[in-house]
Amino acid sequence: MRGWTRRQALAGGLALLAAGRQVLAAPAPASPATAFVNVNVLPMDRQRVLRGQTVIVADGLIRAIGRGIAVPSGARCIDGGGTAFLLPGLADMHNHSDSRQDLAVQLACGITTSLNMGEARNSFVGRTRAAVARGDVPGPRVFAALAVDGSPQYGHLVVRTPDEVRAALIVARANGYDFIKVYNNLSAECFAVLAREGPAMGLPIVGHGVTAVGLAGQIAAGQAMVAHLEEFFYTFFPQPPESAPNAAPDEAAIPAAVALAKQAGTFIVADLVTYGTIASQWGKPEQVQAFLAAPEARYLAPAYRFSWPREGYARKAGSLDDRVRFLRVFARALEQAGVPLLSGTDSPDIPGLVPGFALHGNLDRLVAAGFSRHAALETATRRAGEFIAKTHPGGMPFGTVTPGSRADLILASANPLDDLATLRRPAGVMAGGRWHDAPALAAMLADVAAGYAMPG
């Protein structure tokens, strides 16, 4: 989030975490085959419902879908009873979760793809996500971006010359990063090198608006994704007057931004929950305390219990409400124009945004902005799969319930197109072909809460 300094580990939170040793539920082993029978399928490849289907999964892939198709001998059968709905697992394409506990919570919330957007610990990038991929640790598949900036102001890796940029690219590739995230203070020269040489090394560019370049120039140079919808405030739309720094742009400026993104096919993270949550606590310290008292705060790492009240938003003056309303209109205009939008949260760095739970909040805000429920779900399913296919071609497709796609699935007890709230309580989640039923998901959450519980 622009203007926000990445949190530092707090001694008190770390001490509490060490005191409460975490024991996470072991992931279910992959079986030779799994058959979902008598389920209603939301494929998410287009707007349709396939009723009374059998879906066969084997070796981590969806192998077949149809009515009355044969179930392989020895397959595990999961019966939807004609009322359950099967749809792709969800994707949070902008977060800062970097622990096994966060991944467990994300999975329990139906998230099967996660993009960490900067400052993940080396052990997380190098070991934890590999353990998830092997099935040793429960969680979503993780992609990771290395954040680079032109100054240490926001706590990111600093690159100031083309040679330093090239060195950073070599290090990022050697350490398994998937993207380079550009940040506010990067120089135009360094951005140009990143945009030219990063994709050639398998490291597409994502991130903020760079002040020295501007989003128009960044998108023209091939930046694959804008990491926040609100970045357009800072380096595209006209700046507000000094007398009204929180004023929203004129809505007449929206068509130019839409045309720019549509022409380039640039993906944009429509993270309405991020800016909306910031606005809700702007100048309101009591709101942060309410966040910490919410039920989902049980799954928040102890360090954030210390850091959230110390973030600066609650000490600000004025209101961001006009900008929140503008972003809703902007997001809807982008969606109507067919610009590819993603869901993201910036959790847990922003006070009020708990990993996993925040993504459902974003889907709700998209619907409130005028998206259909299907269109909102697309941002966290099909569009995420399209983004990875575009930026890292040749990988296993995901984001739809179609033969050949990765078996990342949510089993919901009711139709999400009637009420998205059903996805907050999955009947089960399959990640990479590994099935976790509702009791297993509940056990994951209980283990995290127990490990984070305050002594006494």
pLDDT tens, 35-84?
A: 999 999 999 999 999 999 999 999 999 999 999 899 999 999 999 999 99
Helix (H, G, I), strand (E, B) or coil at 62: strand
Average pLDDT, the chain: 93
Task: Read off the pLDDT of residues 132-174 as tens digits, 9 standing for 90 and up.
Answer: 999 999 999 999 999 999 999 999 999 999 999 999 999 999 9
The pLDDT of 103-131, averaged and rounded, is 95
Give 48: exposed, middle or buried? Use CB within 10 Å, 0-12, 13-18, 19+: exposed
Q: Are the C-beta atoms of residues 227 and 208 closer than 8 Å to each other? A: yes
Cis omega (within 30 of 0) for bond into 255: no
pLDDT value of residue 124: 95
The pLDDT of 374-396, averaged and rounded, is 97
Rounded to whole angstroms, the Cα distance separating 197 from 163 reads 12
pLDDT value of residue 454: 73
Tokens of 295: 């039920």
pLDDT value of residue 10: 36
Percent of the chain at pLDDT above 90? 91
- Does 14 have pLDDT greater than 90? no
The pLDDT of 318-340, averaged and rounded, is 98
Scan for tokens 């949190």, then name that residue. 7
pLDDT value of residue 176: 95
Give 93: exposed, middle or buried? Use CB within 10 Å, 0-12, 13-18, 19+: buried
Terminal-to-terminal C-alpha distance of the chain? 35
The pLDDT of 290-304, averaged and rounded, is 97
Model confidence pTM above 0.85? yes
- Does 430 have pLDDT greater than 50? yes
pLDDT value of residue 1: 56
- Does 239 have pLDDT greater than 80? yes
Tokens of 182: 């550009």
